Each structure stands twice: as C-alpha cells, then as structure tokens.
Homo-oligomer: A and B are copies of this chain.
C-alpha cells in the first residue's frame, strides 16, 4: 500500500473513539478527551451512553454522519475484531486498537490478532497496533495516548519522528524530554505490528517535511530486508538513529516475553546497522541525545574536536572522553593553528589556557567565550566544537545561548553545548533546546553527541566513495551432499579464491610419483584426511604439517592409510607465513545471507574479533569491515607484517559472491583460515553446509 494511506493515521480530519467512556479515569475517556482537544473532529461511539462531556454519543460507527478517517478502539481485545468489522463496513480508513491481550499473551490472543489483520486487509483499512499507545502529532494535537497529561507531559512540535515498539518507552521518554522542551514531529507506538510497521514509517517520515531525524526503538524487525531497503531510500537525506533492544541473550529473552518477538543475532544487526549508516545507540537517553544533535547541527567534516569552557577540569574530562578508546570515543583533540592560538591569546585573559581544550577560566566573559568559538570555527583544523554553558561564574550570562545559537545555525561544522548545573543550568538547557542548539547535562553526553555527528559525517563521505556495484546473484547449483574440502577449494578457485597446490589420493591409490620436492606440489607439504565427516581435523589427529621429504610423506601416508583406510587423503603445499583470517557467510533469520570477516587463529577467536554485513556487499563495505576490526592495526604494517589488503578484499568479495550464488540453500560457508600473505590470499581450509535442494 502506498505510504499516503498513512495520512488517515497521521492527518485524519474525522476520528471516532469506539469504546468512548464517561468515566474520566477510563482509557475510553482519556483518548476521547485529548482527541477532542485536537484539530480533529472526534465522535464518541458507545451504544450504552447518550453523551460524553456534552457530546452526543453514537451507538455505532456507521451512524456517524460523515466519513471517518481514523477509529481509535479502546475496547478489550475480545471485542476488537467485531469493531474492526464494523469499521470496515462503514468505510473507516484506519484504526488503532489500543488494548493489549493479543499475540503477546498467547494463542487465543494470536487468533484475535489474525482476525483483525484479515478483516483490515480485505477492507483495505490500515491498522496501527494492536497493543499500542497509538500516535502523537504535537503540531496538530493529534493524541491517542491514554496517559493523562498531568502525569505525563506532551512534548512540543519538533524535528524528531519517534517510532517505538514499546509504548511505555515512548511515553516515558517523551515525558522526560518534554521537561526540557525537546520537540517531536510525531510519536508512533508500533505495538504488535499486524499492518503498519517500521519500514513503511521509515518511508513516511523520510518524506515528511516536518521530520529531520528518525529515531527508532525496536525489539525486533518486521522484515529485515525490507528495513534495509527502506533505510537506503532515506538515509542520505535524513539521519536514522536506533535503539535496538534484545542485544544480549537476556535482553532477547526479555523482548520475547514482552512482545513475542524473536531477536536476531546481535552481531549481524550491529554490522548491518553500520552498513546502512543507521546510528545505533544503547539506551533511551542516548536515543534522543543523538537525534537532537543530528537534527539541529550539520555532521562533522572530520574527527578533530575542540573544547572551550570556563571550567578547566571539564576540559580535562572532555579531552579524555573525546580521545580515549576505552571509556571514550576514540576521536581526536584538534591541534589549533598558531593563528588560532595567537588570536585566543589576545582575546582572553592572561591566565586562560589557549591550547585545546581552551579554558577561558572562571573569570572569562560571554564576549571572550563567543570570540573563542569564532576562532575555533575559523580554524580549518577543527571539525566540531564543544562549548560549556556554565552560568555559575560571574561574567558568563544567558546571552551566551543566543550567541551560540546564531553561530550553530550558520556554521558548516557542528557546535554542541554542555551544561553542568542546577536550576539555572536546567533553564539554560531549555533555552538552548528552544533555539535548537544540541545541549546536554554533563560532559559525557556532549562528547557522545559529537561522536554521533562524526559518525554521520564519515558515513556520508563513505557513501560518496562507493564506486563499485554490489554483485548480483548468479544462481549456482551445488550438490546436495556435503562437499569435500578439495571440491570446495575447486569451487572457490572458480570464483578466483586460490588455495595451495594439492593432489587428492583416493582410498587404495598409490602416492603419485610426481609428489616429490621440486614437483608440481612444492614441498614441504601438508597431509590431511579429506572427509566432510571430520569437522575438526586437528582434534581428530588427521593433519600432518611440514613434511619436507618424499620419505616423510610416505611414512605419514602409510600411517593415515591404516587409521583412515576408506578416506581420501589430501597432499597440499605448505602455505607460507601470513595473517590468518576467517571469512564466512551465514543466513541470518532477520537479514538473510550475511558475510562475516574476522581475525583467525587461536587468539583472535579468543577475542572474537569479527564483523558482519548483509550480502551483497560493495568493495567499500569490505574495507569498512576491515576497519571495524579491533585488530585493524595488522593491516597497516604492524610488526613488519606485510599484508596484501587488496587481495584480501577481493577474496572476501568473491566468497560473498559465492554465498549469494548458493542462494536459498546456504546454511553456512566458512573459509578458515584465509591466509593473507604479502602478495595474495589463500584459502587453507573451507567448509560449506547447505540445505538439500
């Protein structure tokens, strides 16, 4: 269905509340009251009540004298399918059944949910929910949230579209943010997602002129591939921020009891979100913190951050947060140009510290602070500025807020403010927010917001650099039986992924006379038992390394013949020294075929230094995968190790292509180790598991 059908949800002219109530504490009253207060003409529907707050009540939707865009259904779950039927019959365009008691509670609820879905589908009616707080559009006052305003503040109109799979998370976060005047273009509670889901909303708010940033709280993805497509349509024009819960096993279990959702493998999600350029956050405060920064100021053109403050200690703390890689964001503290330093020197007090972090001291004034901000803005070595707004000292006054706002909106690099303070500090946070200067209580949150702006800048630049097309899939028919190692290596070779020279010796066959030093399989060699049934060759004592002579090889072959009489033996040239990596593919239940790249070998597996992306991948994706690994130093000459990174990238791309081509039948593909030397990459071992055709 086209997104425009969502207009009935977000911009209804006529609404009704089915289950409207006279009792002020009932959901059916709260929803009716707030809808009535909005710009939407709202009709109460309840057969057993004549009027509510002086408004005549209708016994049924079909009696309402004009076409209804939106029905909010506040009846208990069991009554919802009937109400949906009635709405369908009356031509209602969209409905929000708010009650719980559907699939999240068990099979009976799931049956009700199926009825709702089917009826709506047939009628072409859109459904948000069920089991949802519904919608809030502050600009129009559209408000279906059944929590009273006295207990839960509504935010003003703003730039953030907030799409949440948890209604409670939505309302509590908006209440907390409204306290500081943070505005939203809309809130949508997804509920059980029988119809409207995050993907369609991604497109909708991608096109919504009032929305600058999309912020998601999700516990599962309705359709991972659909999400990828939707995000790709939006992400270059609008930042997308996501709190994806259910990351840990414990969290996934909690999510599943909470909404009946199955959480995907988080490592895949992590990689895919990075691949898409979605800014992932890890708690509800960070969700809005990042969204505000991304909505209000431009992305950072680089990683070099400058700090200016009246409190030297804050500068030290911020420098740590910015530059440290542990408990920090691994950015850079900008080195100020001599001109900037000289200018700062002339504009601030002699006791000021004019290196980054710039400390104009407690005796510094608003004029000094704004001059310093101007100097930092003018310095081409500065990509982002963090400025303290601290009114505890005598010569800083609230006009700093306006000065910062002017500069923040004119500059091509971001300015972020931090505040540490009580009543006056909270007032400054409100004023800064009102002028759309991203401002945070505390150093950490400010540094984190800058990190989000840096990541956004890097993503956009990375996108510009994409020159290669991700390869299309060319269906490949792999045998139903498991492939032997040498067969898989032949297949890899046909994709351009080389392996050491080798000879297969079937059971009972003699060792070929060509297998001698100087022959086509250079010595020393490795002898392996080649059998798909042996998954761990070393543990099965089915490998002999470094056999230097024909005699040694013969003696080991004799031993293996005794122990593995009916197996193929594989004689392979011993690989040179190099970097062991692991490259693999899996089919993720959320995102489908996905590629893994990681450090191989004992230690690297111990540290689980791997990263995933959804297939297909671009060359730039693969380079970003390598850059995402903790041990990435190894690619740039660590301890004199020469690594042919281009060959590695090509091998990864080809393994990814193979996985794509295997298609639906892929279970797992592992090339482990992929040995990367100074002039190439070799698959030393490989395994493929497929589903029967």
Task: Please list the residues of chain A having a beta carbon within 8 angstroms of any beta carbon in chain B.
Answer: 25, 100-101, 105, 147-148, 151-153, 164-173, 175-179, 217, 219, 243, 245-251, 253-255, 257-259, 282-286, 310-317, 319-324, 327-328, 332-333, 350-351, 353, 355-357, 359, 361-362, 390-394, 420-426, 441-444, 539, 599, 601-607, 609, 630-631, 633-634, 638-640
Which residues of B sit under 8 angstroms from A638, Cβ to Cβ? 606
In the assembled complex, how far is the CB of residue A333 from the closest CB belonging to chain B, in whole angstroms? 4
Interchain CA distance A312-B170 in the complex, whole Å: 11
Interchain CA distance A311-B172 in the complex, whole Å: 9
Instruction: Check B169 against A314 for contact (C-beta < 8 Å).
Output: yes
- Given contact pairs A310-B168, A392-B175, A425-B176, A444 touches B285 in the complex (Cβ within 8 A): yes
In the assembled complex, how far is the CB of residue A168 from the closest CB belonging to chain B, in whole angstroms? 3
In the assembled complex, how far is the CB of residue A108 from the closest CB belonging to chain B, in whole angstroms? 12
Given contacts A153-B422, A168-B314, A285-B444, 9 further A-B contacts (CB under 8 A): A151-B393, A168-B393, A175-B420, A245-B317, A248-B323, A257-B355, A258-B316, A603-B607, A603-B631
- Given contact pairs A319-B248, A333-B250, A314 touches B634 in the complex (Cβ within 8 A): no
- Give the residue among A171, A254, A311 with the most B Cβ atoms within 10 A: A254
Instruction: Check A100 against B361 for contact (C-beta < 8 Å).
Output: yes
- Given contact pairs A283-B443, A285-B442, A328-B248, A421 touches B312 in the complex (Cβ within 8 A): no
Interchain CA distance A357-B25 in the complex, whole Å: 28
Instruction: Check A351 against B171 for contact (C-beta < 8 Å).
Output: no
Which residues of B sit under 8 angstroms from A166, Cβ to Cβ? 311-314, 316
- Given contact pairs A148-B394, A421-B172, A245 touches B316 in the complex (Cβ within 8 A): yes
Which of B101, B353, B357, B601 has a CB less than 8 Å from the CB of A603? B601
Which residues of B sit under 8 angstroms from A251, Cβ to Cβ? 316-317, 319-320, 323-324
Instruction: Check B631 against A312 for contact (C-beta < 8 Å).
Output: no
In the assembled complex, how far is the CB of residue A535 from the closest CB belonging to chain B, in whole angstroms? 14
Which of B101, B147, B390 has a CB less than 8 Å from the CB of A172? B390
A–B Cβ pairs within 8 angstroms, 8 of them: A100-B351, A147-B362, A167-B362, A168-B390, A172-B421, A245-B317, A246-B316, A258-B312
Interchain CA distance A316-B333 in the complex, whole Å: 36
Interchain CA distance A394-B324 in the complex, whole Å: 45
In the assembled complex, how far is the CB of residue A253 from the closest CB belonging to chain B, in whole angstroms? 7
Which residues of B sit under 8 angstroms from A327, Cβ to Cβ? 247, 282
Instruction: Check B420 against A173 for contact (C-beta < 8 Å).
Output: yes
Which residues of B sit under 8 angstroms from A320, Cβ to Cβ? 245-248, 250-251, 282
Instruction: Check A250 against B322 for contact (C-beta < 8 Å).
Output: yes
In the assembled complex, how far is the CB of residue A344 from the closest CB belonging to chain B, in whole angstroms? 13
- Given contact pairs A258-B353, A599-B603, A603-B631, A172 touches B420 in the complex (Cβ within 8 A): yes
Which residues of B sit under 8 angstroms from A245, Cβ to Cβ? 313, 316-317, 320
Which residues of B sit under 8 angstroms from A249, Cβ to Cβ? 323
In the assembled complex, how far is the CB of residue A356 from the closest CB belonging to chain B, in whole angstroms? 8
- Give the residue among A219, A311, A444 with the most B Cβ atoms within 10 A: A311
Which residues of B sit under 8 angstroms from A423, Cβ to Cβ? 153, 179
Instruction: Check A243 against B317 for contact (C-beta < 8 Å).
Output: yes
Which partner residue on chain B sits nearest A631 by CB separation? B606
Which of B217, B284, B312 has a CB less than 8 Å from the CB of A442? B284
Instruction: Check B175 against A425 for contact (C-beta < 8 Å).
Output: yes
Instruction: Check A253 against B168 for contact (C-beta < 8 Å).
Output: no
In the assembled complex, how far is the CB of residue A113 from the closest CB belonging to chain B, in whole angstroms? 15
Which partner residue on chain B sits nearest A630 by CB separation? B607
In the assembled complex, how far is the CB of residue A271 from the closest CB belonging to chain B, in whole angstroms? 13
Instruction: Check A179 against B323 for contact (C-beta < 8 Å).
Output: no
In the assembled complex, how far is the CB of residue A499 from the closest CB belonging to chain B, in whole angstroms? 23
Which residues of B sit under 8 angstroms from A602, Cβ to Cβ? 603, 639
- Give the residue among A250, A361, A634 with the most B Cβ atoms within 10 A: A250
Interchain CA distance A275-B668 in the complex, whole Å: 45
Instruction: Check B393 against A147 for contact (C-beta < 8 Å).
Output: yes
Which residues of B sit under 8 angstroms from A178, Cβ to Cβ? 422
Which of B255, B313, B361, B539 has a CB less than 8 Å from the CB of A164? B313
In the assembled complex, how far is the CB of residue A46 from the closest CB belonging to chain B, in whole angstroms? 20
Instruction: Check A420 against B176 for contact (C-beta < 8 Å).
Output: yes
Interchain CA distance A350-B390 in the complex, whole Å: 50
Instruction: Check B324 against A172 for contact (C-beta < 8 Å).
Output: no
Interchain CA distance A601-B165 in the complex, whole Å: 46
Instruction: Check B151 against A392 for contact (C-beta < 8 Å).
Output: yes
Which residues of B sit under 8 angstroms from A259, Cβ to Cβ? 312
Instruction: Check A250 against B323 for contact (C-beta < 8 Å).
Output: yes
Instruction: Check B101 against A422 for contact (C-beta < 8 Å).
Output: no
Which residues of B sit under 8 angstroms from A310, Cβ to Cβ? 168
Which residues of B sit under 8 angstroms from A421, Cβ to Cβ? 152, 172, 175-176, 179
